[in-house]
Amino acid sequence: MRTYDVLIIGAGPIGMACAIEAKNAGLSYVIVEKGALVNSLYNYPVFMTFFSTSQRLEIGDVPFVSINPKPNRNEAVEYYRRVAEKFSLNIHLFERVDKVSKGMDGKFMVETSKTSYDAKHVIIATGFYDIPLMMNIPGETFPKVTHYYKDPHLYAFQNVVVIGANNSAIDAALETYRKGAKVTLVIRRGEIGSYVKYWVRPDIENRIKEGEITAHFNSEVLSIDTNQVTIRTPEGEQTIDNDFVIAMTGYQPDFGMLKKLGVEMGDGTQPFYDPETMESNLPGLYLAGVVCGGMDTHKWFIENSRVHAEQIFAHIAAQS
């Protein structure tokens, strides 16, 4: 079996940035990705606009040209595909990493859904978008409930409950409202989230003020039924007609997988890594990208975690 210098788990923007560094350093590498290229971005809402400017999403010094200051999801998917082509990145798509173990010889053995690999170094760049934070309420698993909002057209002329206060929820509420949905927004806290894009905030505030979108603050959904939803509000419980629930309650990294890979988890939700080198507790096993934040999914973004790739390869170079 061939031994790679580096095996990267996840072909998101940061896994790709790591592959480019490996290639530039003359190391052999492979990215193993369980879905499509940039699978998280592929699954984002089709009309999503990034809060970052296109320059801040660039990897490998390849210019990301967008006509607008903030690019959208479709432009980003196209950009990263072109980057993969430009560098002829060695990516194995639709292949899931299931297990990583370290042998007596210091090499990693990586088992996937298709085969196995040997590698001297492994980088975990698995993001946080695969596991939604569940509310654990009755009806949450009905087909009319989604944790991955995609396209507003589906909701035209329907009664839609949107749960959440951050960008994903606010975008979903505004887009579906504009396609003719009757939207009720349910927010646990007393206000719209502080991370909401600055150009979107006045829009949602005005729609709520004008009564075009109903918002229940300090409220939570208690249960979901086939045709109704029950909400606890400061004024008491309310049951409203409902066709679809868009639950934008957030996501979390796959902590089970990280533990299985041997990464120390501190309090159980924060993977250990050295912030200088990005090396985990296991020598040769690194973390990169948004997975590093653990439950704090608002700490790392593409724009501030691109640098992890350089840190990791500086450390690998220093050792050889």
Ligand X SMILES: Cc1cc2nc3c(=O)[nH]c(=O)nc-3n(C[C@H](O)[C@H](O)[C@H](O)COP(=O)(O)OP(=O)(O)OC[C@H]3O[C@@H](n4cnc5c(N)ncnc54)[C@H](O)[C@@H]3O)c2cc1C
Closest approach of ligand X to the CB of residue 286, in Å: 13
| Listed residue (2, 83, 77) closest to 40, CA to CA | 77
Contacts of 92 (CB under 8 A, 6+ apart): 30, 31, 32, 33, 112, 114
Closest approach of ligand X to the CB of residue 142, in Å: 23
Q: Nearer to ligand X by C-beta: 47 or 142?
A: 47
Q: Nearer to ligand X by C-beta: 38 or 312?
A: 38
Closest approach of ligand X to the CB of residue 302, in Å: 3
Q: Are 45 and 169 in contact (CB under 8 A)?
A: no
Q: Nearer to ligand X by C-beta: 71 or 139?
A: 71
Closest approach of ligand X to the CB of residue 282, in Å: 17
Look up residue 213 and give its two tokens.
Answer: 């979108």
Closest approach of ligand X to the CB of residue 165, in Å: 14
Q: Nearer to ligand X by C-beta: 149 or 155?
A: 149
Say how far apart CA 168 and CA 249 lie, in whole Å. Answer: 9
Closest approach of ligand X to the CB of residue 91, in Å: 10
Q: Nearer to ligand X by C-beta: 26 or 63?
A: 63
Q: Nearer to ligand X by C-beta: 9 or 119?
A: 9
Closest approach of ligand X to the CB of residue 315, in Å: 18
Closest approach of ligand X to the CB of residue 320, in Å: 25
Closest approach of ligand X to the CB of residue 40, in Å: 3
Q: Nearer to ligand X by C-beta: 38 or 187?
A: 38
List residues near ligand X by CB under 6 A: 9-15, 32-35, 38-41, 44, 48, 50-52, 96-97, 125-127, 129-130, 168, 257, 289-290, 301-303
Q: Nearer to ligand X by C-beta: 113 or 218?
A: 113
What is the number of other CB atoms lying within 10 angstroms of the CB of residue 46? 15
**Exposed/middle/buried for 127, CB within 10 Å: 0-12, 13-18, 19+?**
buried
Q: Which amino acid is at 148?
A: Y
CA atoms within 13 A on the CB side of 183: 30
Q: Nearer to ligand X by C-beta: 216 or 306?
A: 306
Q: Are 162 and 243 in contact (CB under 8 A)?
A: no
